[in-house]
Amino acid sequence: MAYAAHHDGLPVRRPLMKNIADGAAPYLYSAPALILIVTVMLVPLALGVSYAFRDIQLLNPFSGAFIGLDHFRALSQDQAFYRALRNTLWWTGASVFLQFLLGLVLALLLDKPFYGRGLAQALVFLPWAVPSFLAGLNWSWLFNPVVGPLPHWFYALGIMSEPSNILSDPQLAMWGPIIANVWWGIPFFAITLLAALQAIPRDLYEAASIDGAGPVQRFLSITLPFLAPTIAITILLRTVWISNFADLIIVMTNGGPADRTQIVASYIFTQAFKRLDFGYASAIALVLLALLLAYSMLIVILRQWLLSKD
């Protein structure tokens, strides 16, 4: 490393070739990954962005012409899109909040050693390994009163007035995919938060309890500040990821009933594969991408601002 040569304080003269080789090292290490990402993701992305300005319909051989901003004009009038946008907010907000909350509690429960912790940890993290569409199929089965127990349990508990399928109830349908998503996503938060918890130096807690700090005070003044960076980055990543995550909704409700569970990502899927209108689908995807980028920038700027304030 050229950098290290300056760094150790001794002015070492090194052959030119070696300097060039050292300078190229990081690029060589990252080149294979970079080339693959550019050819398989960035180039198709650029192509996909260009589709947003073209009339691309899969079964229509006369399509393909540039039509400028027509898709976006149509989109601004599309009531189904606005409904999908509102549903996305609800779907993402509820899923991330519940996954985070339950994941944090689970991480705290697993933080201290106890008999059987290894086994408990392996079992509670298991849903993460279940393929998402299989999780969706399975949960729609569980919510079905003919073959699933959940409606009957809800009825017995008095939550429901009769054992019916919440997936076909327009008021409640969104809860189906949200519950499946929470079940599936708790392990992600629990794993990352548990890792962050275990990195907190133990003597801090001892010192605090010698000073007479109670458990709540220790949590607020030690645990939470240490976890804050991890919490910020995982919530950011998960929010973006869950807004794009349509598998469960497509498998469980297909956007229904009456579009009540249609989120933007599943709306894109419907446009592309049911109506085969790739141009319009790309335009919607581009708007979603812009919104998510804006959201991420906002979080990053907010974080910088908070850090600089300290």
Q: What is the dihedral of CA 147, 152, 153, 156, to 10 degrees?
A: -170
Q: Which of 240, 248, 249, 252 binds other proteins (CB under 8 A)?
A: 240
Q: In whole angstroms, how far apart are CA 229 and each of 129, 149, 191, 262, 275?
A: 26, 40, 15, 33, 43
Is 173 or 282 the residue whose CB approaches other proteins more closely?
Answer: 282
Hey, which residues between 257 and 286 contact other proteins (CB under 8 A)? 265, 268-269, 272, 278, 281-282, 285-286
Stretch that binds other proteins, among 59-67, 86-94, 164-172, 190-198 (CB under 8 A): 190-198
| 42: contact with other proteins by CB under 8 A | yes
Which helix (H) or strand (E) segment holds residue 132: the answer is helix 132-143
| 97: contact with other proteins by CB under 8 A | no
Which residues are CB-contacts of 197 (< 8 A; sequence separation ≥ 6)?
107, 108, 111, 223, 226, 227
| 48: contact with other proteins by CB under 8 A | yes
- 129 to 168: interface string for other proteins, x by CB under 8 A: xxxxxxx-xxx-xx--xxxxx--x----------------
Instruction: Find out whether 173 and 91 touch, Cβ atoms under 8 Å.
Output: no
Q: Which of 47, 80, 207, 220 binds other proteins (CB under 8 A)?
A: 47
Is 174 or 238 the residue whose CB approaches other proteins more closely?
Answer: 238
Hey, which residues between 170 and 189 contact other proteins (CB under 8 A)? 183, 186
Task: Give the span between the Cα atoms of 5 and 210, in whole angstroms.
Answer: 46
Hey, which residues between 99 and 128 contact other proteins (CB under 8 A)? 105-106, 109-110, 114, 118, 120-128
Instruction: Find out whether 2 and 23 touch, Cβ atoms under 8 Å.
Output: yes
Hey, which residues between 20 and 39 contact other proteins (CB under 8 A)? 22-23, 25-27, 29-30, 32-34, 36-37, 39
Instruction: Find out whether 296 and 90 touch, Cβ atoms under 8 Å.
Output: no
* Closest CA relative to residue 247, chosen from 255, 239, 238: 255
CB of 216 to other proteins, least distance (A): 14
CB of 68 to other proteins, least distance (A): 19
Written as one letter, the residue type at 46 is A
| Cβ neighbours around 238 below 10 Å, total | 21
Total site size for other proteins, rule CB under 8 A: 94
